[in-house]
Amino acid sequence: MNILVTGCAGFIGSHAVDLFLSMGYSVTGVDCLTYAGSIKNIEKAISHKNFRWYKNDICDTKSVIDHCLKHEVEWIINFAAETHVDNSIESCERFIHSNIVGVQSLLECCRRLNISLFHVSTDEVYGSILEGSFCETSKLNPKNPYSATKAAAEHLITAYSNTYGVNYIIVRPSNNFGPRQHVEKLLPTVLRSLRAGEKIPVYGDGKNIRDWLYVKNNVKMMEIILRKSDVNQVYNITNGNEFENIEIIRKIIDILKIDFESSVKFTKDRLGHDFRYSISDRKIKGLNFQVNSNFNDDLKETIRG
C-alpha cells in the first residue's frame, strides 16, 4: 500500500514510519519540523528505498496534493498535531492552525483525489471520567484547548464524510510513552530532572490518573486497524495500564534505585487538569488481534532510551 504519513518526524509518527516500512509499505513522509519534530527520528527511515519525505506544513494543501499524486497515495495517515496541553493553555493559536485548519486541508486533499484519511486523535476528547470507561459512542466533552481542537477535527472529518463521501478511520489512543518522546512530556521530564540532579515537578498531589500506552504497541495496533477495519469507523486504543502520575514516578524511581522523598516536589496544579482518563477496548477486540504488552519491561526500555 502507498501511504502518506504526516508528522513523520514526530514521536509517534516516526515509530509508525519504521513499522510501516518494515511491513513493506511505500511511505511518503511530510513534516514541517516544528520544535517537536526531529530529523534524527527518521534517520533510519531516510536510508530505506521505500521512503521519501518532504518538509511541508499540512496546511499547504497544494503541496500535499502534489505529493499524493506523485506517489499514488491511497491513505493519508495523520499524526501531525500540536499536542502539549500546557502550551495550549498558554496560547491555542498554533493548535487551531495544525489540529483544525491542518485537518481541513488534508480532508480537501482526500476529497479532491478520492483517497482516505486515517486520523490519529486522542482519548482526551472524551474529557475526564471518575468511574467506568468511555466507549467510541460516548459524548465528546473536551476540557482544555488542546483536546477541544482534536474534537473539532473529528467533527470536520465526519462532516466531510457525510457531505462529500470522504472515507476515514479515527483512532483515539491513550497516553503514549516510549523512546523519542519530546522532553516536555511527563516521562522525559522525570528522567531529565533526575539526570540533572533536580527534583521532579509534580502537579497538585500527583493523583491524576492516565492510561499509559507504549508507543510501539500503539502503532502496531494502528497498522492492524488500517488493514482489517471497515472504513468510517472509530477505535479506542489502549492496553489498560491506568496509573496515578505519582505511581509512574515511583516506578521510575524504583527502577533507578533512588530515594523518592528527596526526588520530587509538588507544584501548583495545572488549570483545568482532568482527573482521570479511561477508555474501553471492547470494539477493537472485535478485530480479533492481540498485541502483547508488559508495562514494566516497556518502561525499562523507555528509561534506557
What are the structural domains of the chain? 2-178+212-241 (3.40.50.720)
Residue 246 CA, distance from chain mean position = 22
Q: Which of 18, 124, 274, 281 is flagged as catalytic?
A: 124
Give residue 221's pLDDT.
97
Question: Are 128 and 276 contacting, i.e. CB atoms less than 8 angstroms apart?
Answer: yes
Q: Is 35 a catalytic residue?
A: no
Q: Which triple of cell numbers denotes residue 1?
A: 500500500
Over residues 230-240, the pLDDT tens digits come to: 999 999 999 99
Report, in this order, helix, strand and coil percent for the chain, each rounded to 5.
45, 20, 40
Q: Is 60 a catalytic residue?
A: no
Question: Are 69 and 4 contacting, i.e. CB atoms less than 8 angstroms apart?
Answer: no
Other CB atoms within a 10 A radius of the CB of residue 71 amount to 15
Burial 132-165 (b: 16+ CB within 10 A, else e): ebbebebebebbbbbbbbbbbbbebbeebbeeee
Residues 6+ apart with CB under 8 A from 35: 182
User: Does the structure show a pLDDT above 90 at 84?
Assistant: no
Give residue 224's pLDDT.
97
Q: Is 205 a catalytic residue?
A: no
217, with CB counted inside 10 A (0-12, 13-18, 19+), is: buried
Average pLDDT, the chain: 95
* pLDDT confidence bin for 149, thresholds 50/70/90: very high
Over residues 255-301, the pLDDT tens digits come to: 999 999 899 999 999 888 889 999 999 999 999 988 888 999 999 99
Give residue 86's pLDDT.
87
Share of the chain above pLDDT 90, in %: 90
Question: Are 252 and 190 contacting, i.e. CB atoms less than 8 angstroms apart?
Answer: yes
Q: Which of 123, 154, 211, 281 is flagged as catalytic?
A: 123
Over residues 161-182, the pLDDT tens digits come to: 999 999 999 999 999 999 999 9
Q: Which of 18, 25, 82, 146 is flagged as catalytic?
A: 146
| Higher per-residue confidence, 145 vs 86 | 145
Give residue 36's pLDDT.
86
Helix (H, G, I), strand (E, B) or coil at 142: coil
Give residue 142's pLDDT.
96
Q: What is the pTM of this model?
A: 0.95
User: Does the structure show a pLDDT above 90 at 79?
Assistant: yes
Give residue 184's pLDDT.
86
Give residue 280's pLDDT.
97
Which residues lie across from 78 on neighbouring strands?
6, 119
Q: Which triple of cell numbers denotes residue 269?
A: 496544579
Pairing of strands 242-244, 209-214: antiparallel
23, with CB counted inside 10 A (0-12, 13-18, 19+), is: exposed
Give residue 198's pLDDT.
93
User: Does the structure show a pLDDT above 80 at 305?
Assistant: no
